[in-house]
Amino acid sequence: MAQFVCKPGNNVRGMIRVPGDKSISHRSIILSSIAEGSSQISGFLQGEDSLNTIKAFQQMGVSIEREQDQVTVIGAGLHGLNKPVADLDMGNSGTAMRLLLGLLAGQAFDTRLIGDSSLSSRPMQRVIQPLQMMGALIESEPGGRAPLQIRGNSELHAIDYDMPVASAQVKSCLLLAGLYANGETVVREPAPTRDHSERMLRGFGCELSSHQSEIRVRGAQVLTARDVEVPADISSAAFFMVAASIADESEITLQHVGVNPTRTGVIDILKLMGANIELVNQRDIGGEPVADIRVTGARLKGIDIPLHLVPLAIDEFPVLFIAAACADGTTRLSGAEELRVKESDRIQVMADGLVTLGIEAQTQTGGIIIQGGELAGGEVESHGDHRIAMAFSVASLRAKDEIHINDCANVNTSFPGFVELARTAGIRISTNDQ
């Protein structure tokens, strides 16, 4: 139950590198574990979520050795996993639970997926339903919630599926299940989502086609081991992008950040608000575009956030709400119902915290209206949501008084070392154990 205590004021400066991308870290372990041969992963995120994915595959007999952010995986092949002797604990990670559900649906053995209280309250029906259409046998708690029991020896068949909600996790789950299905699985998404799974599947030798909103993969393909370099996580870099944008005389360079075009909505939104952001040293690393991101202080203005950018920035909205609170005028977000079913109800939790700090924030079913103003100090609740906790720590740069943020222990799930790096950059943050 750690508490962040953030003193007001200051700016951020320097050159920093945030930890590895969580989405890519998860996928690198999953695909290298079912590939044939030895894969070397560098830049792996050492957060609790990613480490739980390693533990899950070790429980299924995969040889995985890790030395800090360097990981060696000896793949077991598509059908080489073994029945785990205990439940697979996904901790706080919806990505891991949903992706593994697709992979485990095609195994010959029974498995049970569990998670912490937050993960156990989050909806899994969106992946259970299409997997059941493929022939998977899955039992859940009421409302399609974890724990999830997956019965082995299910003969999966390919489906042609139109996703009702834009979700990279659902898409990736079905593509993994498609590797174990008879025939060609077709998935269509209503709006573009992050495409790390498609890029990495191709990197491991999978034949996969994608055209506009349609992705196709056929079953029974052999994946071949490869080395993976994980770039720095743009979702983690976003906290410092906003920090530099809202604090006068700030200038920061974020190194080696993944700038996959399905993830750069946060940059596009901040630029529309007037942020000074420049991508330099752009290059391609293992199929993923990477750049250094240079940000300097700016006077932000409120905007109506374009609908097409919403799925491309879905994880970054907590800190974008802080940018909106510091902007001149009104910012409006709609079409973001997905934020209601993250680690917390991020629309309501952020609105409650902003109101506590003196900002006008009006919630809507799928969005929020924020009137820029002056941030006061106060005590806010993160509800155990790592991105909420980090977002309000950034707000302290423009606050009049101290901000105390409760229940921050889960920051380690996605951003180990956040407090130390934030201090290095100039955020005046400390921790208390409650």
Please tell me the distance from the alpha carbon of residue 166 to that of residue 156, in angstroms, as a whole number: 23
The answer to whether 315 is a known catalytic residue is: yes
- Looking only at Cα atoms, what is the longest distance across the chain? 61
Catalytic residue among 195, 315, 385, 407: 315
Alpha carbons within 13 angstroms on the beta-carbon side of residue 60 total 32
Tokens describing residue 23: 């989405």
Q: Are 145 and 171 in contact (CB under 8 A)?
A: no
Q: Are 379 and 345 in contact (CB under 8 A)?
A: no
Count CB neighbours of 199 within 10 A: 19
Q: Are 429 and 396 in contact (CB under 8 A)?
A: yes
Residues involved in catalysis: 315
